[in-house]
Chain A
């Protein structure tokens, strides 16, 4: 008897619609796990650097000893430009220049300056790991010189003994030369947006998408759809009306959510670095592009949701159908948080570009770095995606699928075009 009940429960609950979201979430977490798994390897690897030592003193010898032991040195010469080129070629992280009088300055009670020319590849959280390892290396140099000064019972200022070197950072990032910032400082600044903006967009897409799918599910559950479809209104107007109405509801819901979230995030973030001072600010045209990108992405998400919503049998099944949208938004969000578009593998780059929600998530960072083509290309792609989805939605609204769950096979393409005009 109990076996019979278990069998019935299992059959009723173990459905593709129940299973699919779990599979998708497992895949998303698996993918994120794979990416994070590489962090350990990156941390174990010796950083690739170049060195230009123009000082022949004791302390530069100590520095050279630490650097050659703990890093893979691909250039050791006297030409800074040539060294930088070599480091770039070898996919290295930085060129360190130890200037003349480095040791002499320390003996003269002045910090010894080390010029570091960083080559930054991406601004994602994980893109700055290799440069963080490089920064650790400089710290080791500092410590070894400090140790040496203590061992020599140096009469120098104790503050200098504890911190005898000073970094002069210059970061090369996507064609820009940013003086005074290390990759980790730059990355931290850019990441404060990389975290908040993708989450805002993800919430907006999910909230608005959920509204439109639920609306379709409710139309079927409340048996109002048939009436709506026999009213003298164009199918395309029904589709667009549902999209815009849901977008408004979604925006209000996301705004309320984000009020709390931004307050939460601001409690962790404090920085007195102004990116505008480094030529990394956005002008009005840039903000306009970000707005357009966000608007078309929202429309794209909603048009996709309305197509999915046509499969909803009722409110409950509508809620399940939001999961593919959530999964896509999460893939975009996590990838953009952790990696830069330019530093991810090609397959993932294609996937990221194909997901319309990715584009507004990437837009601000791309515009700061003058990568207009990525943003404009993204807007164009998303707009085309939206038009195709709306066209499909209108086709479905004109077909029997909404009411019968099946689409009658059509042979004539002319009929397809005709349907959109109705």
Chain B
């Protein structure tokens, strides 16, 4: 079964067309990357798939559930990590994980979810401190833990390493890879083309609300006779 199937998706904000008829698929257990410049439509596409925005036209199915009709079902199997997400500052890291876990299970299932969140976030004793006292890297690790602890079938990650230092960014990438090995399908967006090349099985280049090319990193490099994805992207938008 396809994890995500997007067909001719259009999203308008008033008179502005943010997404202009994009189509792509994400397979189970695959990391699919949307890459493009600011304002290209990456976040809008991810928010629409994450049930946050209404569809202007086109269709989206997530593991066979159709949006927006079955949004409630979709929310049970996805996990969305927004680009600049935060956590409730007056809660401790552990309380935050508890709060989220309660939406996904009770009893032993709840305990297992929280335990997994604690392991992924790997914040040691600091997990018992208020989120307000965390550094940006710690908050992001907590949020990645939150996103992946619930065993989603699809993780939607918007710029998962933006603003993080090299060490924290590498840690987050490692966590994502572990999740994929466990069978999670990942749809992510990034400005960082090298990161995408490292993480993603397949990539779609998006510009001005349209997908201008897609394929594996090797296929794209070959198609545009480029040394890396960054160069392929520049050639593709010309």
**Smallest CB–CB gap between A420 and chain B, Å?**
13
Minimum C-beta distance from B146 to chain A (A): 8
> In the assembled complex, which residues on chain B have CB atoms less than 8 Å from the CB atom of A399?
54
* Residues of the B chain whose Cβ atoms lie less than 8 Å from the Cβ of A227: 80-82, 85, 100, 143, 146
Inter-subunit contact B13/A222 (CB<8 Å) = no
Report how far A54 CA is from B44 CA in the complex, Å. 90
Q: Are A230 and B72 in contact (CB under 8 A)?
A: no
Would you call B85 and A224 a contact (CB within 8 A)? yes
Q: Count of A-B contacts with CB under 8 A?
A: 62
Q: Could you tell me if B88 and A232 are in contact, using CB atoms closer than 8 angstroms?
A: no
Q: Which of B47, B100, B104 interacts with A226 by CB under 8 Å? A: B47
Q: Which parts of A190-243 form the interface with B (CB within 8 Å)? A: 222-224, 226-227, 229-234
Among A63-71, A320-328, A375-383, A402-410, the one that faces the other chain is: A402-410
Once the chains bind, are A230 and B87 in contact (CB under 8 Å)? no
Interface size class of A (residues with CB under 8 A): 10 to 19
Tell me which residues across on chain B come within 8 A of A342, comparing CB atoms.
Answer: none
Q: Which residues of B contact A404 (CB under 8 A)?
A: 13, 53
Q: Quick check: is B237 within 8 A (CB to CB) of the other chain?
A: no
Chain A residues contacting B14 (CB-CB under 8 Å) are 406
A230 partner, pick from B51, B84, B86, B88, beta carbons under 8 A: B51
Q: Does A349 contact B (CB under 8 A)?
A: no
Contact yes or no, B53 A400, CB < 8 A: yes
B50 touches A230 (CB 8 A): yes
Enumerate chain A residues within 8 angstroms of B53, measured Cβ to Cβ: 400, 403-404
- Docked-complex contact A232 and B76, CB < 8 angstroms: yes
Residues of B within 8 A of A232 (CB): 72, 75-76, 103-104
Count, chain B residues at interface, CB 8 A: 30
Beta-carbon contact of B87 and A226 below 8 Å: no
Whether the pair A223, B75 counts as a contact (CB closer than 8 A) is no
Determine the distance from Cα of A256 to Cα of B45 in the docked complex, in whole angstroms: 48
Residue of B nearest to A230 (CB): B80
Q: Are A230 and B76 neighbours in the complex by a CB distance under 8 Å?
A: no
Say whether B47 contacts A231, CB under 8 Å. no
A147 proximal to B (CB < 8 A):
no
A230, A233, A400, A406: which contacts B78 (Cβ < 8 A)? A230
- The chain A residue with its CB closest to the CB of B96 is A224
Which residues on A sit within 8 Å (CB–CB) of B56? 408
Kindly identify, within residues 43 to 80 of chain B, every residue whose CB is under 8 Å from any CB belonging to chain A: 47, 50-54, 56, 71-72, 75-76, 78-80
User: Is B136 in the interface zone, CB < 8 Å from A?
Assistant: no
B126 at the interface (CB under 8 A from A): no
Report the separation of the CA atoms of residues A226 and B75 in the bound assembly, to the nearest whole angstrom. 12
The answer, yes or no, to whether A422 is at the interface (CB within 8 Å) is yes
Question: B72 touching A422 by the CB < 8 A rule?
Answer: yes
Our pick among A226, A233, A406 for the contact of B82 (Cβ within 8 Å) is A226
Residues of A within 8 A of B89 (CB): 222
Q: Is the CB of A400 within 8 A of B86?
A: no
- Whether B54 lies near A422 (C-beta < 8 A) is no
CA distance A21 to B7 in the complex (A): 47
Q: Tell me if B71 and A422 are in contact (CB < 8 A).
A: yes
With a 10 A CB-CB cut-off, give which of B50, B72, B86 has the most chain A CB atoms.
B86
The one of A233, A406, A408 that contacts B103, using a Cβ cutoff of 8 Å: A233
Q: Verify A403–B47 contact, CB threshold 8 A.
A: yes
CB distance from B81 to the nearest CB of A (A): 8
22 CB-based A-B contacts, threshold 8 Å: A222-B87, A224-B85, A224-B86, A224-B87, A226-B47, A226-B50, A226-B52, A226-B82, A226-B85, A227-B100, A227-B143, A227-B146, A231-B100, A232-B75, A232-B103, A233-B103, A400-B13, A400-B53, A400-B54, A403-B53, A408-B12, A422-B72
List residues of chain A with CB under 8 Å of any chain B CB.
Answer: 222-224, 226-227, 229-234, 399-400, 403-404, 406, 408, 422
B residues sitting closer than 8 Å to A (CB atoms) are 12-14, 47, 50-54, 56, 71-72, 75-76, 78-82, 84-89, 100, 103-104, 143, 146
Given A222-B88, A231-B100, 5 more pairs with CB closer than 8 A: A222-B87, A226-B52, A229-B52, A230-B52, A230-B75
Pick the 10 closest A-B CB pairs, nearest first.
Answer: A223-B86, A222-B86, A230-B80, A232-B75, A226-B82, A232-B76, A231-B103, A230-B50, A223-B84, A223-B85
